[in-house]
Chain A
Amino acid sequence: MPTDEELMARYLSGDRDAFRELFRRYAPLVLRLVSRDLRPDEANDLVQQTFLLLHRARNDFKSDARLRPWLCTIAVNARRQYLRDTLRHKTLDREFAEARVDRGFLAVNDAEERVRAALAGLPADQREVIVLHWMQGLSFREIAHAVGASLGAVKVRAHRGYLVMRQALNPNDDGGE
């Protein structure tokens, strides 16, 4: 199976099938990355936008670069711009906080819902790092590149975020290593 970078090289030389393969390989990941807190139609638009920007920026791609963090940064930027333009980031944070109180965090039985609620309770910068690391499987170095922070800062955010998540999901856990 060709690597992402080989596919990108083929795409740069005009192979449309290589783009389709990249899309099929990465659209689910990009969708997961951008869809949090958005309606499905908004998330789909952002996926389209991300790949359109990938197409427009294709000549910036260096042959020794890795595609995944490159694409993730484009998606993260697109999502941030969207939230900022629609003035929703503050609203969303408030909605999360209200939802957490209204629904009663400990009363949520479903594991996924509990994780979502725990994530929603995190500060935005920690939530972003946790999503990229835990759910998307990016390395800390890749995340640092994607969110424009230092490696140390990303590790601190992840540590704090995971600690809060653990305490939220296992209230009896004292958080010790």
Chain B
Amino acid sequence: MTKKPTHAAPDAPELELLLHAVEARLAQERGAIAWLRSRPTWLRASFAATWIMLLVAAAGFRGAGFSITNVHRQLALLAYATVLVFALAELLRPTHRFERSALQRGLSALAILTPLLVPFLSLVAPDPSAVARLPGCMTVGISVAVFTLAWLRALDRTGHGARSTALLAVGVAGLSGNLALALYCPSAELSHLLRWHMPVGLLVVLPYVQLLRRRGARLPSG
């Protein structure tokens, strides 16, 4: 085994053509989104975390607030925040780090499943003092999720060009929506949570998956 196999290396004109194609794509790298995507990873992560915290805090200020005595809300906040931190760290992983697809799949599943499971915590931690719920939970949750998804897409270097990344981003967006609702809505009533909180993530996932399918192209053109 002394001879290496010869591969058809591109000749000079082919190489120059490829270079021109790359330079043409680099020439389109202008504007705010290009600037965001080229920031160092720690800065992109800070931007993402700050954005999500602002949206969640705004929902909290408008709604039930931060005086969290409800056990269900405490557990929900803890569950959402924990998964959110890990999912966000993987989502904004530096481009030159090895991609752990099993971890990414696991976190995507966890991010999507957590909002489906958390409402059932109200069965083990009932809160009879729950006050009347605020209207528009789903509107608030979906708004936070959609704004989060748009921001995450702007920060993602492939522009969610890879389906696995897009799915994880949707999971993070859904978690953000539910996290916001955990501060916005004081209700621990299972039927309310299942009807107006839980579907937030799914209602973002399904249209986004359809959009990605329709888009078809997977190369990061932005």
A contact patch SS: helix
A31 vs B14: C-alpha distance when bound (angstroms): 12
Please name the residue on chain A nearest to B221 by beta carbon. A52
Give the contact-size bracket for chain A. Answer: 35 or more
Q: A115-B5, A169-B1 are in contact. Are A52 and B25 (CB under 8 A)?
A: yes
B51 to chain A, nearest CB (A): 19
Residues of A within 8 A of B163 (CB): 84-85
Contact B162–A52 (Cβ < 8 Å):
no
* A151-167 Cβ-contact flags toward B at 8 Å (1 or 0): 00000000000100110
Please name the residue on chain B nearest to A47 by beta carbon. B18
A82 vs B165: C-alpha distance when bound (angstroms): 12
* A18-55 Cβ-contact flags toward B at 8 Å (1 or 0): 01100110011001100100000000110111011101
Q: Which of B91-99, B110-118, B183-191, B196-204 contacts A (4 or more CB under 8 A)?
A: B91-99
Residues of B within 8 A of A135 (CB): 4-5, 7
Residues of B within 8 A of A174 (CB): none
* B34-58 Cβ-contact flags toward A at 8 Å (1 or 0): 1001111100000000000000000
A80 within 8 A of B: yes
B219 within 8 A of A: yes
Residues of A within 8 A of B41 (CB): 60
Please name the residue on chain B nearest to A70 by beta carbon. B96
Residues of B within 8 A of A19 (CB): 26
A74 vs B25: C-alpha distance when bound (angstroms): 17
A45 vs B219: C-alpha distance when bound (angstroms): 8
B150 within 8 A of A: no
A123 within 8 A of B: no
A56 within 8 A of B: yes
Contact A58–B38 (Cβ < 8 Å):
yes
B56 to chain A, nearest CB (A): 28
Contact B22–A52 (Cβ < 8 Å):
yes
Residue in B6, B25, B218 whose CB lies within 8 Å of A82: B218
Q: A47-B18, A55-B38, A135-B4 are in contact. Are A81 and B164 (CB under 8 A)?
A: yes
Residues of A within 8 A of B95 (CB): 53, 56-57, 60, 74, 77
Please name the residue on chain A nearest to B36 by beta carbon. A56
Residues of B within 8 A of A74 (CB): 95-96
A70 vs B25: C-alpha distance when bound (angstroms): 21
B100 within 8 A of A: yes
A1 within 8 A of B: no
B72 within 8 A of A: no
Contact B18–A56 (Cβ < 8 Å):
no
Contact A44–B29 (Cβ < 8 Å):
no
Q: A31-B10, A166-B1 are in contact. Are A53 and B98 (CB under 8 A)?
A: no
Residues of B within 8 A of A32 (CB): 7, 9
A61 vs B174: C-alpha distance when bound (angstroms): 32
Which residues of chain B have a CB within 8 Å of any CB of chain A? 1, 3-7, 9-10, 15, 18-19, 21-23, 25-26, 29, 34, 37-41, 94-101, 157-158, 161-165, 218-220
**Pairs of residues from A and B, 4 with the lowest C-beta to C-beta distance, nearest first:** A148-B98, A57-B95, A81-B162, A112-B5
